[in-house]
Amino acid sequence: MTNILPVLDHAIAGVPASLERLFELVRIKSISTDPAFKAECRRAAEWLVAELRSLGFDATVRDTPGHPMVVAHHDGAKPDAPHVLFYGHYDVQPVDPLNLWDNDPFEPAVRDAAGGRRVITGRGTSDDKGQLMTFVEACRAYKETVGALPCRVSILFEGEEESGSPSLKPFLEANAAELKADFALVCDTNMWDGDTPAISGGLRGLVGEEIVIKAADRDLHSGYFGGAAANPIHILADILAGLHDETGRVTLEGFYDGVEETPTQIKAAWETLGKTAESFLGEVGLSIPSGEKGRSVLELTWARPTAEVNGITGGYTGEGFKTVIAAEASAKVSFRLVGKQDPAQVRDAFRAYVRSKIPADCSVTFHAHGGSPAIQLPYDSTLLNKAKSALSDEWPNPAVIIGMGGSIPIVGDFQKMLGMDSLLVGFGLADDRIHSPNEKYELRSFEKGIRSWVRILAALAAR
């Protein structure tokens, strides 16, 4: 393994210059959702291409129907090292309301903050320009010290992440051969806390279903028909109440197929993070975990599947009262998936269950709303463990492998379209105010982020 100490030292020594480059990028107003900033978006892409070319990358601006992509390639020093695709996005959120900003969002600076911290202020410093530049500056540190990158590196910078990524899938499809690497590095997430780096090892999948239950052919008077006519709200309530048993488990046939228990050491590591039910749920005014009994809130939200009713409606819902028996009632239900749960199988099991509860004189219609499997790096994967060890060397606390309850579309797209796992490592903090006024990025995140990528690239290249 390359001696990376000179590279790490160089990274620190180069921070003032690295910051100047980041500032140049932040000053470009690449607000993707506002057509007025179309030229600025292109300018950001061109700036990145120039930057990457200066590092020896074969970098190009690639047109799309929307804002352009940046694609770049660089060989690695060791032919047997893995080929990685780094992903970030150069577009940013709008800055309104401008009067809530303490400083010009497009005039970045390093400023003092509470607790003796130093922060880089400006739109995009955390989401995602500061983050993506940690990787670019790590590459620079390698190039300026050892003259080479330890791995073969491709880069994809998107310019539409903040506006729904309309061009991403077609672009991945059209350029699959070029973009396919051994795995992706995605830098658009947070640390666990300021001292504890985090790797997102899993993202839950999602199945959405809307059901509409129809009973009588019109709304009925509950005096005349009540007690004899089917009430679709009753049928719906029965169905939804039956989705969980008394231990909080989902009752659908085969629902837990493909769900594995979280390894003991992972659960033990989560225990040390100090997220109790009270602290996790206390943020939103709750205190008692509602799901499967005997599991921590982190396990429940990171590693366990769920069934949630996201919306329900039926009958009279206005002011006052109306003694009506509704003709129909409906609910939107979603399932968060983990492990190898099959979205199609879950959907089928749900529909079969619902159908089994519909009286012969009533009917149900289903509307599918999306379905994607969970994404889970095996907890014992080499990729995960190399990254974990590299990050643990850089930061005060060891890195934690966390789950993410929601989904990140790019990770699913890489998996589905390029057959490629993603390693999610980022250095944002929960209080970075991304998408809000006064966005900031910790100077420490920028400095140690650069050094983290130096370490990760070295670790990945090592046998």
Within positions 293 to 312, which residues make up the interface with a second copy, using CB under 8 A?
Answer: 297, 300-301, 304-306, 308-312
170 sits near a second copy (criterion: CB under 8 A): no
Q: Is there binding between residue 325 and a second copy (CB under 8 A)?
A: yes
Nearer to a second copy, 398 or 409 (CB): 409
Beta bridge partners of 363: 214
Structure tokens at 157: 């910078």
The least CB distance from residue 286 to a second copy, in Å, is 5
Partners of residue 376 on adjacent β-strands? 202
Reported as type and span, the H/E element at residue 121 is strand 118-121
Residue 56 makes CB contacts below 8 A (sequence gap 6+) with: 74, 143
Interface of this chain with a second copy, residues 391 to 420, rule: CB under 8 A: 404-407
Binding map of a second copy across residues 227-256, x = CB under 8 A, - = no contact: xxxxx-xx-xxx-xxxxx------------
Radius of gyration of the chain (CA): 25
Distance of closest approach, residue 378 Cβ to a second copy, in angstroms: 22
Contact 211, 330 (CB under 8 A): yes
Total residues contacting a second copy by CB under 8 A comes to: 81
- Confirm or reject binding of residue 15 to a second copy (CB under 8 A): no
Nearer to a second copy, 117 or 244 (CB): 244
* Interface with a second copy in residues 328-347 (CB under 8 A): 329-332, 334, 336
Q: Quick check: 177 binds a second copy (CB under 8 A)? A: no
208 in contact with a second copy (CB under 8 A): yes
If you ran DSSP here, which 8-state letter would residue 42 be given?
H
Tell me if 288 contacts a second copy by CB under 8 A.
yes
185-200: string of b/e by CB count within 10 Å (b at 16+)? bbbbbbbbebebbbbb
Among 68, 201, 291, 339, binds a second copy (CB under 8 A): 291
> Among residues 61, 113, 269, 277, which is the contact residue for a second copy, using CB under 8 A?
277
What 8-state DSSP symbol labels residue 407?
-
Residue 95 CA to its chain's centroid (Å): 22
Tell me how far apart the alpha carbons of residues 344 and 375 are, in angstroms, rounded to a whole number.
Answer: 15
- Tokens encoding 226: 């009540």
The nearest distance, CB 284 to a second copy, in angstroms, is: 4
Q: Under the criterion CB under 8 A, does residue 323 sit at the interface with a second copy?
A: yes
Distance CA 4, CA 451 (A): 10
Per CB under 8 A, contacts with a second copy among 354-393 are 359-362, 369-370
> Amino acid identity, residue 249?
R
Stretch of residues binding a second copy (CB under 8 A), selected from 8-16, 149-157, 282-290, 424-432 = 282-290
Which residues does 39 contact at the CB level (< 8 Å), separation at least 6? none
**Binding marks (x or -) toward a second copy, 26..55, rule CB under 8 A?**
------------------------------
Residues 98-117 binding a second copy (CB under 8 A) are none
Is residue 166 close enough to count as binding a second copy by CB under 8 A? no
What tokens does 113 get? 């903050």
Distance from C-alpha of 206 to C-alpha of 304, rounded to nearest angstrom: 12
Among 133, 185, 206, 374, binds a second copy (CB under 8 A): 206
Question: Per DSSP, what are the bridge partners of residue 220?
Answer: 325
